Structures are given as structure tokens and as C-alpha cells.
């Protein structure tokens, strides 16, 4: 059966639980990760940012309003500031203005429109160390789950004196993930960060590609032939066409020796031209993608395991 897969290495494509099972529980919480592990995800995905005291924590955003209950904390009311970001000016509570101790007083909230908020205000914000400990805990019981780790805005954090390269690599080294057989990918939208990581580590790297042309620091114009990482993390529209056909993107990446991981598969947000997330997944797997990020990993696993 293995030889039937159309992936670069002819092995099963991987299912990466995007921010954990974030379709079911607030993203990046232990509950979301544990659920993904129970469902059988191959990898869980933490997005990393850094606190004012230099601790790597897990958050998709570098601000706290969307995924936490900080707005309900009167003690932080005057800590909102306006900041110019590569995506525009925004007023918010910024992660790098808060210590880990302060952030640990917050609780996570579902950020995705239309999803249940029944599990809001229960779960803590998770540190990088804690997600590594979670993977180690499961590995010690015989359940290997990989970490597909994204560094968010590392050049910004470096510019304020919080370089992420060493804390990231030293953390992984200290926890001896490799020795325990826990697979790790490092992914980032910023090519210069991955380049720095490659000078200090042999870990497999995934160059993410954004399609928003306004997001220039995010590597939106990366060319397959210029890429020196293990692979690419791409938006599904680069493979799935709106008429239901697929592009030659995966074949071109494979020809260049690059794996392709695709974001983001969502049961509740399907592309034009596709009637369901299952249709999207079948088309992606038939195109040969090597992995998918899924908000509902159980759905992706069901389709993948029926291949």
C-alpha cells in the first residue's frame, strides 16, 4: 500500500492538527492538543511568539485580544497600545509587553467566527516548554506525536532583542526530542529566520508562503526553484483551482526535491469549487501533497486513511 502514495517519499501524507484540534476547542490549548492526539494526528502545531521576559509561548497572534479574555481583565485596561505592523496599524495588547506570569492569568477563547464558544475562559495559554512536555509524556507511553513548530514574526522579535533561534533550538535540544523519537519540523514565513536556523541545526525546515501580497515580510514571492528548505507550507489555493481541477504546483515542488504541506483544511470553511472539506482533501492527496494542516484532524485522518 505504501508505494501507492503520491507523496515525495511515497509514504502516507501527514495530518498536522492546526493549532491543535482548533475546530473543536480554543486554539493552542492543552485540550485542543490532547483532542488531536486522541484522534490520531501525526503532528500538533504550535505557533510561537515571545513574552516581555523572553519566554516562548504559543499563540497564533502577537497580540492578545482575539484568542484570550484579556479584555475582561481591568488590571490590563491601560496596557493597550497602537502599533504599526507589516499588516497595518493596530491597537491591542501585545504579547511582548506582558510577562509570562501576566499571560498565565489569562484564559483562551475561540477566535474563529461561527464556532462554539462553550469552551471559552477555561484553558490556560501554553508555553513552548509545556507542549514539548506534552509530546514527551505521550512518547513515554508509546504514542509518538510530532511537533510542527512555527516561529511567528521572528524578525520583529529579534529587532526588540528577543532572538528566537537559540531559545527554540536550545529548548528542543534540552528536551531531547530527537532521542525520544519525536519528529520535529520548524516552519516560518520569514526566509531569513529559517536560514539562521539551518546554520545551527539539521532539523527539517518548512518555508511557509503567504498569498497576501501586502504581507511582504512573510515570503509571499518565494519561488520553488530558490528554496533550500526541506519543503514548503502553502495555502491550498496554490494547488486547488476553483473549477475543481488541481495545479502542477506539487509536481514542480517534488521535482525540486521539496515536500509540500498545505494549509488550512477546515470542515466549516470550504473553497469555491469544492462541496466539502473531504473533496478538498481527496483532491490534495491525489495531487500528491505530503501533509495537511487541519482544524478538524479527525476528518483529515479519515480521508487520508481511506486512500
Give contact residues for ligand G3P (rule: CB under 6 A): 18, 45, 47, 60, 150, 187, 208, 233, 263-264, 293
Please report whether residue 190 would count as binding Ca ion according to CB under 5 A. Answer: no
Site string for Ca ion, 145-184 (x = CB under 5 A): -----x----------------------------------
Which CB, 61 or 96, lies closer to Ca ion? 61
- Residue 195 CA to residue 207 CA, distance in Å, equals 10
Instruction: Count Cα neighbours of 183 within 13 Å in the Cβ-side half-sphere.
Output: 15
Mark out the alpha helices in the chain (DSSP H runs).
30-39, 100-103, 128-140, 154-159, 165-175, 191-200, 249-255, 277-287, 297-305
Q: How far is CA 123 from CA 4, 27, 58, 96, 240, in A?
A: 41, 10, 13, 21, 35
Cβ of residue 244: shortest distance to ligand G3P, in angstroms?
23
| 131 Cβ contact partners less than 8 Å away, ≥ 6 residues apart | 33, 44, 46, 58, 147
Cell numbers representing residue 298 in the block: 479527525
* Contact partner, 304, from ligand G3P, Ca ion, none, Cβ < 5-8 Å per class: none
* Contact partner, 231, from ligand G3P, Ca ion, none, Cβ < 5-8 Å per class: none
| 7 Cβ contact partners less than 8 Å away, ≥ 6 residues apart | 13, 259, 288, 289, 290
Which CB, 92 or 150, lies closer to Ca ion? 150
- Residue 6 CA to residue 157 CA, distance in Å, equals 38
- Residue 110 CA to residue 114 CA, distance in Å, equals 9
* Contact partner, 233, from Ca ion, ligand G3P, none, Cβ < 5-8 Å per class: ligand G3P
Please report whether residue 280 would count as binding Ca ion according to CB under 5 A. Answer: no
Please report whether residue 290 would count as binding Ca ion according to CB under 5 A. Answer: no
Cβ of residue 27: shortest distance to ligand G3P, in angstroms?
9
Compute the residue count for the chain.
Answer: 307
Cβ of residue 51: shortest distance to Ca ion, in angstroms?
19
Contact call for residues 247 and 273 (beta carbons, < 8 A) = no
Tell me which residue has cell 491543535: 20
Cell numbers representing residue 291 in the block: 501533509
Cβ of residue 181: shortest distance to ligand G3P, in angstroms?
23
Cell numbers representing residue 99 in the block: 510577562
Which CB, 215 or 251, lies closer to Ca ion? 215
* Contact partner, 208, from Ca ion, ligand G3P, none, Cβ < 5-8 Å per class: ligand G3P
Please report whether residue 295 would count as binding Ca ion according to CB under 5 A. Answer: no
- Residue 248 CA to residue 141 CA, distance in Å, equals 41
Which CB, 18 or 196, lies closer to ligand G3P? 18
Going by C-alpha positions, the residue among 16, 20, 17, 52 that lies closest to residue 33 is 20
Q: Which residue's CB atom is positioned nearest to ligand G3P?
A: 263
Tell me which residue has cell 473531504: 278
Which CB, 152 or 254, lies closer to ligand G3P? 152
Cβ of residue 73: shortest distance to ligand G3P, in angstroms?
25
Which CB, 47 or 102, lies closer to ligand G3P? 47
* Contact partner, 280, from ligand G3P, Ca ion, none, Cβ < 5-8 Å per class: none
Which residue stretch of 68-76, 143-151, 240-248, 265-273 sits at the interface with Ca ion (rule: CB under 5 A)?
143-151
Please report whether residue 102 would count as binding Ca ion according to CB under 5 A. Answer: no
Binding site for Ca ion (CB under 5 A): 47, 150
Amino acid at each position: 500500500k505504501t508505494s501507492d502514495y503520491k507523496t515525495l517519499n511515497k509514504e502516507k501524507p501527514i495530518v498536522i492538527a492546526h493549532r491543535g484540534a482548533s475546530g473543536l476547542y480554543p486554539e493552542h490549548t492543552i485540550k485542543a492538543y490532547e483532542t488531536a492526539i486522541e484522534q490520531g494526528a501525526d503532528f500538533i502545531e504550535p505557533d510561537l511568539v515571545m513574552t516581555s521576559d523572553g519566554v516562548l509561548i504559543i499563540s497564533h497572534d502577537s497580540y492578545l485580544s482575539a484568542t484570550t479574555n484579556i479584555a475582561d481583565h481591568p488590571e490590563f485596561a491601560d496596557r493597550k497600545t497602537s502599533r504599526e505592523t507589516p499588516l497595518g496599524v493596530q491597537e491591542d495588547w501585545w504579547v511582548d509587553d506582558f510577562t509570562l506570569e501576566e499571560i498565565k492569568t489569562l484564559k483562551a477563547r475561540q477566535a474563529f467566527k461561527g464556532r462554539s464558544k462553550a469552551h471559552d475562559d477555561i484553558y490556560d495559554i501554553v508555553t513552548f516548554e509545556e507542549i514539548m512536555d506534552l509530546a514527551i509524556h505521550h512518547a513515554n507511553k508509546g504514542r509518538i506525536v510530532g511537533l510542527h513548530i512555527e516561529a511567528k514574526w521572528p524578525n520583529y522579535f529579534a529587532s526588540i532583542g528577543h532572538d528566537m533561534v537559540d531559545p527554540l533550538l536550545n529548548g528542543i535540544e534540552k528536551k531531547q526530542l530527537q532521542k525520544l523519537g519525536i519528529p520535529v519540523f520548524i516552519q516560518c514565513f520569514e526566509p531569513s529566520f529559517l536560514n539562521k536556523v539551518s546554520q545551527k541545526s539539521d532539523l527539517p525546515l518548512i518555508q511557509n508562503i503567504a498569498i497576501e501580497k501586502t504581507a511582504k515580510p512573510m515570503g509571499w514571492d518565494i519561488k520553488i526553484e530558490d528554496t533550500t528548505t526541506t519543503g514548503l507550507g502553502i495555502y491550498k489555493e496554490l494547488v486547488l483551482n476553483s473549477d475543481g481541477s488541481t495545479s502542477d504546483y506539487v509536481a514542480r515542488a517534488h521535482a525540486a526535491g521539496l515536500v509540500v504541506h498545505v494549509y488550512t483544511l477546515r470542515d466549516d470553511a470550504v473553497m469555491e469549487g469544492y462541496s466539502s472539506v473531504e473533496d478538498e482533501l481527496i483532491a490534495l492527496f491525489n495531487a500528491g501533497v505530503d501533509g495537511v494542516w487541519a482544524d478538524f484532524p479527525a476528518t483529515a485522518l479519515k480521508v487520508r486513511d481511506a486512500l
